Amino acid sequence: MRQLRYILIGILSILVVTFTLSQDVAAFGQKENYNIHGGIQFGTNFYHAIEGQQRYAPFGFMANGNVQVQLGAINIPLSFSYNNMQGSLSKPFQQYGASPYYKWAKLHLGYRSLNFSPYVYAGRTFNGVGIELTPGIWNITAFTGKLRNFFSIQDTVVSGALVLPTFDRNIQGAKIGIGKRNKFELSAVKVKDEAGSSPTSILNPQDNLVFGAGLNFRFFKSIQFTLNTASSIFTNNTNATIPEDLQNELKRYENIHQVNATSRISFAGDAGITYNRRQFSLGLKYKRVNPYYYSLATNFIQNDIENYTINTSIGMLKRKLRLRGSLGIQKDNLSNQKAYTSNRLIGSATAIYLPKKELNMMFRYSNYQHENSSGLAIINDTIKILTTTNTIMFNSNYKYYTTELLSSSFNINVFNNYQIDESPTSNRGFKGLGINLSSPIEFTAKEFTISPSFFYNKYTFSTFSQGRIGGGITLSKSFLEKKIITSLTTLISQNQYDGKGNGNLFNASISGSYKINKSNSFLLRLYYFDNQTLLTSSSKEFRGNISYGVRF
């Protein structure tokens, strides 16, 4: 989308003029406004597979850091990460980025992320260049770069995960907004795969153009109105043929987007109004995501749904109890293309109880996806792209004994949820159930902590189930007024398949850190992993890393 390139070049030109004509001379002339601070860590990784597949290289080098440079009135935050310990998942991992800014002008370089709207562009990391200008009530943003296609990650880590060959994915975007408390924004994002960049890819080269608008308006101090809308033109395969009877609705976009038989145009949006008064709020919200709505610049968005919800929250018992909830109706089959239509009652509830400083509890229930939380997750050694649609969760922390010499607490976390694997080769749902218990005991005078734990998790698929049950203990001890901190963790569990034992898993790790002074530190970590299974290949491996950190 060449228009976005021209916008970016124009904004960069404005930035240069701004730096030249609007410099704060006083700030540039003061010595204390020239400094550098932050931290850098570098070291080595090592790995050895005693039994099973060699998943990583025997040795590797890593480096990462976050540095803030101040040059007069200009601030330059820098970040980088590099790891050349190659494995089955990727080439040497490296990310680097900087976001220098001066007053209301900010430049993005390298690996950065921005947030336009939940339907247009929502926080995905890109590698490129961008600019943000916020003079007065204006907000102008433009960027261009490369975007990773995480759907190319397949298979499991234990049995040998891999990254499928995929096309170079380009992304360009722009946003303009006006207002602070009350604001209006327009945005556009273009994501397109370079069809010739990967001749061996089995994935389709895709093309996506999304336009969005947002409004946030507050009146009478207590009433807030919000609106988010977006339209998406999505082509699932740019190599597909162009039919002669291409829809007139799509033909109008031929000059800005590649359309063919796999192209779809769709819409999404939500609108809500909320009343807030002290510890009470009440709101109404409408959300609709039409069939075939996609945005390659966001996490997975559930489409073909329509929600009507009422939302409320209230604080009680002198703010010791906080209740939040929503209740509504959800409908699908919006285009009447399915064999049936489902209407269901949807809701969510959250209760946070803080009766005293020694005790806190939280309970949460939801039976619909009301936020974008999809992404890569490791579930029982398997990489998945997940959407959580139904969840029950409870966690609590209770400090049941505290003195000058000894303190102890009890932690519990329980979850039960239904998730959908959005991987192109899967698209199946599974249920997850888990419980984690721990009870750390700290001997204050001895600077020693012992923490036993127990865990159980189970994942039920359509034809089988798998899980683990076990426990462990963590010991940690500090010396020389916490200049040296050591930790030892051991975990042992039983693998389960369809409710029966499937071998055992043993994990052990030891770490030690030495704070040489305020600026320098040394860290050593060692890991041992032994997974003995009856149905698949067993594995034993040893890995570790040594690193040195400098803060300045």
Helix or strand or coil: residue 213?
strand
pLDDT at 319 over 60: yes
First vs last C-alpha separation in the chain: 43
Give yes or no for a contact between 351 and 365, defined as CB atoms under 8 angstroms apart: no
Is the pLDDT higher at 486 or at 153?
486
Q: Output DSSP code: residue 300.
A: -
pLDDT of residue 25: 47
Contacts of 523 (CB under 8 A, 6+ apart): 43, 511, 512, 513, 514, 545, 546, 547, 548, 549
Residue 428 confidence (pLDDT): 64
Q: How far is C-alpha 417 from the chain's CA centre? A: 19
Most confident option among 52-61, 242-251, 447-456, 458-467: 447-456
Measured between alpha carbons, how far is 393 from 434 in angstroms, rounded to an integer? Answer: 10
Q: How confident is the model at residue 327 (pLDDT cuts 50, 70, 90)?
A: very high
Which residues are CB-neighbours of 389 under 8 A, at least 6 positions away?
302, 367, 368, 369, 418, 419, 420, 429
pLDDT category of residue 164 using cuts at 50, 70 and 90 = low
pTM of this structure: 0.75
Say if residues 252 and 285 touch (Cβ distance below 8 Å). no
User: Does residue 374 have a pLDDT over 80?
Assistant: no
CA 345 to chain centre: 28
Q: Which of 118-127, 169-178, 227-236, 468-477 has the lowest mean pLDDT?
A: 118-127
Q: What three-state secondary structure class fits 228?
A: strand
Q: Is the pLDDT of residue 33 over 50?
A: yes
Q: Look at residue 87 in the predicted model and tell me its pLDDT.
A: 45
pLDDT of residue 23: 42
Q: What is the pLDDT of residue 214?
A: 96
Strand locations in 296-427, DSSP E? 305-316, 321-331, 343-356, 359-366, 375-379, 382-402, 406-421
- Give the residue, 242 or 458, on which the prediction is more confident: 458
The pLDDT assigned to 156 comes to 44
* 144-171: average pLDDT: 68
Tokens of 217: 């308006």
- Helix (H) and strand (E) counts in the chain: 3, 31
pLDDT for 373? 41
Mean pLDDT of the chain: 83
pLDDT confidence of residue 196: 75
Residues 302-322, mean pLDDT to the nearest whole number: 92
Of residues 534 and 140, more confidence is placed in 140
Q: Name which of 10-24, 282-296, 430-444, 453-467 the model is least confident about.
A: 10-24
- Can you give the pLDDT at residue 64? 86
pLDDT of amino acid 78? 79
Q: Please write the tens of the pLDDT for every residue from 331-340.
A: 988 888 877 7
> What does the pLDDT average to over 385-395?
76
* Helix, strand, coil share (%) of the chain residues, nearest 5: 5, 65, 30
The 10s digit of each residue's pLDDT in 182-210 is: 999 999 999 999 887 777 677 788 999 99
Token digits for 18? 């701004």
Cα–Cα dist 364/344, whole Å: 20
Query: 454, 468 in Cβ contact below 8 A?
Result: no
Evaluated on CA atoms 85, 59, 510, 95, the torsion sign reads negative
**The predicted structure's pLDDT at residue 210:** 95
What is the pLDDT, as a whole number, of residue 297?
A: 92
Strands 305-316 and 280-289: antiparallel
- In contact, 473 and 455? CB cutoff 8 Å: no
Mean pLDDT of 78-96: 63
Q: 182: closest CA among 157, 155, 209, 217?
A: 217
